[in-house]
């Protein structure tokens, strides 16, 4: 039912917003035209804003790019490489060079995050089916036999040939980040695009500046509030901000929230102390992988990962309503969540 309501609301949102409308930014005097578009793709609502003379057609190029990538990586579209691999019965399978590179990167992220991020978690994602109609958690007896199918070392990538050894894959945790990198490159290739902001359901990308050379301001969502409630914001240019949280897809059973991010070590939705994590990074795919991985790890392991790598920044919101940011974000993040009951550490 929730899903039907979500799809219907997205549909009505589309009805009102699909047209490309030239808009004025309320925060700035208009000296550069702005164009906007909203679409529904990859199971989520996506919005785009481009700043610059004559940039309206770029919005259609963005949409075409997203539809093309979705066809290539969706696990449910039967012409996609991912669908082919999941049906390959362990046979080495040739895929597009870009798919092979993405899967090799996924394995590298798994290795680096100690398996907290793992695209072979697919059988568990399918069993839990969070957001897809499940209302009662599966039993341990249903989970246990699937655990043997999970483990990133079961997927090997050799050139453009990929072999899945008794496993299945799901790019839900990096697909939107991967598209974000491609959108970023497309928008950068247009000289007349002075600035752009896109949001692919939790994956935000910003390029250049708004009118008046102001940086973009990205809100960090209040995970206990409505989708339009924020507990702070970050000022940025040429960067990605990717969030994972337990409010995105979930069901509640017997007073417990069961969300869509699975801990590959337990086979169940992760039970870390993180309610929401937002990753700031100049690589959209890596940012997306990290948002999922750090959410699973919890704050202690996540901060150790940060100290060891320092190739991203992050905002953490804990289950007990504490908010803290990594060192490199301290001068870019503004906390506004006190009234909503959060404390800034
Ligand atoms: P995100 O919202 O980016 O954190 O991605 C969550 C999605 O990735 C889920 O809906 C699943 O499709 C998939 N997923 C869930 N848990 C994991 C995990 N531990 N590693 C990789 N993918 C996952
Ligand atoms: Mg992710």
Tell me the pairing of strands 343-344 and 322-325.
parallel
Ranking 8-12, 136-140, 270-274, 289-293 by mean pLDDT, the lowest is 8-12
> Is 172 a pocket residue for ligand 1 (Cβ < 6 Å)?
yes
Interior/surface letters 310-324, b for 16+ CB within 10 angstroms, e for the rest: eebbbbbbbeebebb
CA distance 198 to 286: 17
Collapsed DSSP state (helix, strand, coil) of residue 94 = strand
Spell out the residues 6+ positions from residue 183 whose beta carbon is closer than 8 angstroms to its own: 62, 65, 66, 198, 205
Domain ranges of the chain: 5-68+174-344
Contact 95, 270 (CB under 8 A): no
Percent share of the chain, pLDDT over 90 = 87
How far is Cα 235 from Cα 215, in angstroms, rounded to an integer? 6
291 in ligand 1 pocket by Cβ < 6 Å?
Answer: yes
Residue 30: the pLDDT is: 57
The answer to whether residue 10 scores a pLDDT higher than 80 is no
293-315 residue pLDDT tens: 999 999 999 999 999 999 999 99
Of the two residues 242 and 16, the one the predictor is more confident about is: 242
158 alpha carbon – ligand 1 mean position (Å) = 24
- Lowest pLDDT segment from 7-16, 107-116, 178-187, 208-217: 7-16
Provide the phi-psi class of 292: left if phi over 0, else alpha when psi is between -120 and 50, else beta. Answer: alpha
91, two tokens: 């046979």
* 82 in contact with ligand 1, CB cutoff 6 A: no
Can you tell me the distance from the alpha carbon of 329 to that of 90, in angstroms, rounded to the nearest whole number? 44
Decide if pLDDT at 290 tops 80: yes
Exposed/middle/buried for 17, CB within 10 Å: 0-12, 13-18, 19+? middle
Task: State whether the beta carbon of 168 lies less than 6 angstroms from ligand 1.
Answer: no
Residue 214, pLDDT score: 81
Query: Can you tell me which atom of ligand 1 is nearest the CA of 296?
Result: 19
pLDDT in tens, 68-105: 999 999 999 999 999 999 999 999 999 999 999 999 99
Which of the ligands is closest to the CA of residue 109?
1
Residues around ligand 2, an ion, CB closer than 5 A: 173, 288, 291-292
> Which residue has the CA at smallest separation from atom 11 of ligand 1?
172
From the CB of 248, is ligand 1 less than 6 Å away?
yes
Going by alpha carbons, the residue nearest to atom 8 of ligand 1 is: 173
- Pocket flag, ligand 1, residue 305 (CB < 6 Å): no
Res 212 pLDDT > 90: no
pLDDT at res. 174: 97
Class of domain 5-68+174-344: alpha beta
Q: Is the pLDDT of residue 17 over 50?
A: no
* Per-residue three-class SS string for the chain: CHHHHHHHHHHHHHHHHCCCEEECCCCCCCCCCEEEEEEEECCEEEEEEEECCCCHHHHHHHHHHHHHHHHHHCCCCCCCHHHHHHCCCCCCEECCHHHHHHHHHHHHHHHHCCCCCCHHHHHHHHHHCCCCCCCCCCCHHHHHHHHCCCCHHHEEEECCEEEECCCCCCCCCCHHHHHHHHHHHHHHCCCCCCEEEEEECCEEEEEECCHHHCCEEEEEECCCCCCCCEEEEEEECCEEEEEEECCCCEEEECCEEEECCEECCCCEECCCCEEEEEEEECCHHHHHHHHHHHHHHCHHHHHHHHHHHCCCEEEEEECCCEEEECHHHCCCEEECCCCCCCEEC
Q: Which of 267, 257, 212, 241 is nearest to 28 (CA)?
A: 212
């Amino acid at each position: 039912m929730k899903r039907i309501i979500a799809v219907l609301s997205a549909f009505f949102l589309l009805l009102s917003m699909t047209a490309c409308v030239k808009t004025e930014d309320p925060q700035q005097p208009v000296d550069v035209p702005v164009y906007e578009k909203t679409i529904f793709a990859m199971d989520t609502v996506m919005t785009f804003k481009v700043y610059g003379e004559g940039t309206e057609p770029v919005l259609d190029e963005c949409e075409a790019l997203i539809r093309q990538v979705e066809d290539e990586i969706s696990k449910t579209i039967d012409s996609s490489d991912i669908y082919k691999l999941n049906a390959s019965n362990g046979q080495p399978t040739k895929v597009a060079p870009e798919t092979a590179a993405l899967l090799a990167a996924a394995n590298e992220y798994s290795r680096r995050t100690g398996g907290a991020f793992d695209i072979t978690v697919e059988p568990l994602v399918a069993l839990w089916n969070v957001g897809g109609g499940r209302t009662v958690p599966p039993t341990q007896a249903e989970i246990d036999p699937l655990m043997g199918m999970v483990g990133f070392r079961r997927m090997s990538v050799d050139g453009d040939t990929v072999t899945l050894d008794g496993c299945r894959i799901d790019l839900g945790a990096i697909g939107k980040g991967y598209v974000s990198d491609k959108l970023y490159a497309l928008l950068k290739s247009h000289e007349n695009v002075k600035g752009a902001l896109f949001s692919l359901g939790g994956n935000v990308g910003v390029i250049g500046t708004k009118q008046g050379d102001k940086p973009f301001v990205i809100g960090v969502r209040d995970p206990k509030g409505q989708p339009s409630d924020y507990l702070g914001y970050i000022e940025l240019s040429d960067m990605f901000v990717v969030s994972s949280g337990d409010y995105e897809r979930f069901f509640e059973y017997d007073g417990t929230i069961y969300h869509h991010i699975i801990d590959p070590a337990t086979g169940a939705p992760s039970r870390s102390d993180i309610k929401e994590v937002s990753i700031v990074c100049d690589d959209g795919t890596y940012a997306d992988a990290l948002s999922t991985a750090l959410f699973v790890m919890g704050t202690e392991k996540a901060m150790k990962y940060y100290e060891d790598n320092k190739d991203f920044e992050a905002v953490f919101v804990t289950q007990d309503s504490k908010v803290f940011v990594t060192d490199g974000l301290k001068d870019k993040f503004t906390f506004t969540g006190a009234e909503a009951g959060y404390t800034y550490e």
